[in-house]
């Protein structure tokens, strides 16, 4: 099944504030912006990349809290089994139209692996971070063959 990402949905993803819960507090990731605090976090974990991803609300179709909790538990299991560590986070819509989504910042993952993980969990997009670079929204083509 192919998922169409409308301009409105893309804009919502771009406006979202992606929060990571760290020992020092919340760290905000803003798409298309660099962050020295995020660079420090990656360096602290001895990685050069990360992906902010959720399993909630696949294809941006709202599910209930219980279903999203099960989906995110499956995501955590997949990430751990693949050998990655992660920090918990939450995607927040500053306009309040969308409910916050529990998410993970998967540390040290390559873009290709993150894309596969997002596709596996029915996501339209995720945020990819490289050390000393702006965070990027990566759209996932759900049509696979």
Continuous segment of H or E residues that includes residue 87: strand 85-92
What is the value of pTM for the model shown? 0.92
Q: What is the pLDDT along the chain (145 residues), one digit of tens a residue?
A: 345 788 888 888 999 999 999 998 999 999 999 999 999 999 999 999 999 999 988 888 878 889 989 999 999 999 999 999 999 999 998 988 878 999 999 999 999 999 999 999 999 999 999 999 999 999 997 554 3
Question: Domain-by-domain residue ranges, the chain?
Answer: 7-139
Instruction: Tell me the CA distances in angstroms from 134 to 55, 68, 72, 74, 142, one per residue in order.
Output: 23, 29, 26, 29, 25
Measure the CA–CA gap between 144 and 61, rounded to whole angstroms. 20
């Amino acid at each position: 099944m192919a998922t169409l990402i409308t301009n409105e949905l893309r804009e919502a993803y771009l406006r979202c504030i992606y929060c990571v819960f760290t020992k020092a507090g919340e760290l905000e990731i803003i798409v298309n912006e660099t962050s020295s605090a995020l660079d420090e976090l990656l360096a602290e974990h001895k990685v050069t990349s990360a992906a902010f991803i959720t399993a909630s609300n696949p294809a941006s179709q709202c599910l209930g809290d219980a279903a999203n909790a099960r989906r995110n538990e499956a995501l955590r299991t997949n990430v751990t089994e693949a050998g990655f560590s992660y920090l918990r986070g939450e995607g927040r819509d500053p306009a309040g139209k969308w409910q916050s989504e529990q998410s993970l910042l998967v540390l040290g993952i390559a873009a290709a692996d993150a894309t596969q993980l997002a596709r596996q969990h029915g996501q339209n997009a995720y945020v990819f971070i490289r050390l000393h670079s702006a965070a990027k929204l990566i759209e996932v083509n759900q049509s696979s063959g």
